[in-house]
């Protein structure tokens, strides 16, 4: 049976084994998928051991996404753009590093929420790893504007510089939180502020009636960002759909079969 795993530290909380077991059952794929706790300074060794045991691929979560990027023998374009890797494929050509987080985000917005990105004004809050991985997949959908706002504005500006050549004239720009101008059709919270129940200090006017506001964090209760957005007319969504979709994209990369995500999203929501 082909073997896969997720590396992280800590890892006990990971929902990936449950998600991939559901995808394997649904698509009739014979595989096993386990959690692997790697030492903080021992990621490469842990991967090599798994390959020696016959591992075919792996997911990578905190704090190893940059280590995985370094370890890979080759990178997909989206992993290069993201500067981080969340999916590894082990094959005859060595270790291939991919990043499915951004594709998962876009799939959740476009397919699950039914909101096209094409022609829309999009605001992304945050410029860390998750935001960086999302920029290329969002630009590929051809938004009218993508504004990256961050607490440290220089980091947002660096992202704009990195991706400027791939965006149309005037599409991509950076901002601080308080200085944001105008309203947006889609607002994505890619900051980790929600982990501490904090809210980036954005003007309420970034939302209009029907704005889609998505927080990458997920949990049983809506985040402070989701509460704030809903109070100002937005339709809100958390990051559970993104999580399930990035896993589907990894599963497709490994097995060549695209699982249906809709039933799993409902099932996992009920278990949060």
Residues binding ligand NDP (CB under 6 A): 101, 126-131, 150-152, 155, 190-195, 198, 200, 216-218, 239, 242-243, 246
Q: Which residues of 247-256 are buried (b: 16+ CB within 10 A; e: fewer)?
A: bbbbbbbbbe
**Of residues 51 and 158, the one with the C-beta less far from ligand NDP:** 158
Burial of 53 (0-12, 13-18, 19+ CB in 10 A): exposed
- Is 65 part of the annotated catalytic residue set? yes
Instruction: Kindly state the smallest distance separating residue 159's Cβ from ligand NDP, in Å.
Output: 10
**Of residues 28 and 268, the one with the C-beta less far from ligand NDP:** 268
Instruction: Kindly state the smallest distance separating residue 218's Cβ from ligand NDP, in Å.
Output: 6
Residue whose entry in the numeric block shows the structure tokens 């969504």: 237
Q: Which residues pair with 87 in a beta bridge?
A: 59, 98
Rounded to 5 degrees, φ, ψ at 163 are -105, 0
Instruction: Kindly state the smallest distance separating residue 203's Cβ from ligand NDP, in Å.
Output: 14
**Of residues 127 and 172, the one with the C-beta less far from ligand NDP:** 127
Burial of 231 (0-12, 13-18, 19+ CB in 10 A): exposed
Catalytic residue among 65, 70, 220, 271: 65
Residues 6 or more apart whose CB falls under 8 angstroms from that of 212 comprise: 109, 113, 115, 185, 186, 187, 234, 235, 237
**Of residues 12 and 52, the one with the C-beta less far from ligand NDP:** 12
Residue of minimal CB distance from ligand NDP? 128
Instruction: Kindly state the smallest distance separating residue 209's Cβ from ligand NDP, in Å.
Output: 25
CB atoms under 10 Å from CB of 34, counted, come to 15
Catalytic residue IDs? 65
């Amino acid at each position: 049976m082909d073997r896969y795993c997720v590396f992280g530290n800590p890892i006990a909380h990971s929902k990936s084994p449950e998600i991939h077991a559901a995808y394997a059952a649904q698509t009739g794929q014979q595989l096993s998928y386990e959690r692997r706790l790697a030492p903080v300074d021992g990621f490469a060794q842990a991967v090599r051991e798994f390959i020696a045991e016959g591992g075919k691929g792996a997911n990578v979560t905190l704090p190893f996404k940059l280590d995985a990027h370094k370890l890979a023998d080759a990178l997909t374009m989206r992993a290069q753009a993201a500067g981080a890797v969340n999916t590894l494929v082990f094959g005859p050509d060595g270790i291939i590093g991919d990043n499915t987080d951004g594709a998962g985000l876009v799939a959740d917005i476009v397919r699950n929420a039914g909101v096209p990105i094409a022609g829309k004004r999009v605001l992304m809050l945050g410029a860390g790893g998750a935001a960086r991985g999302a920029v290329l997949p969002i630009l590929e959908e051809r938004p009218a504007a993508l504004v990256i706002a961050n607490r440290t504005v220089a980091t947002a500006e660096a992202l704009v510089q990195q991706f400027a050549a791939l965006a149309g004239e005037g599409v991509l720009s950076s901002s601080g939180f308080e200085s944001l101008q105008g309203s947006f059709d889609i607002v994505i919270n890619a900051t980790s502020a929600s982990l501490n129940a904090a809210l980036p200090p954005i003007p309420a006017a970034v939302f209009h009636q029907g704005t889609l506001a998505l927080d990458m964090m997920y949990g049983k209760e809506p985040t402070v960002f989701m509460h704030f957005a809903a109070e100002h007319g937005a339709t809100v969504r958390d990051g559970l759909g993104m999580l399930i979709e990035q896993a589907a994209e990894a599963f497709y990369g490994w097995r060549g079969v695209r699982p249906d995500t809709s039933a799993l999203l409902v099932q996992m929501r009920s278990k949060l």
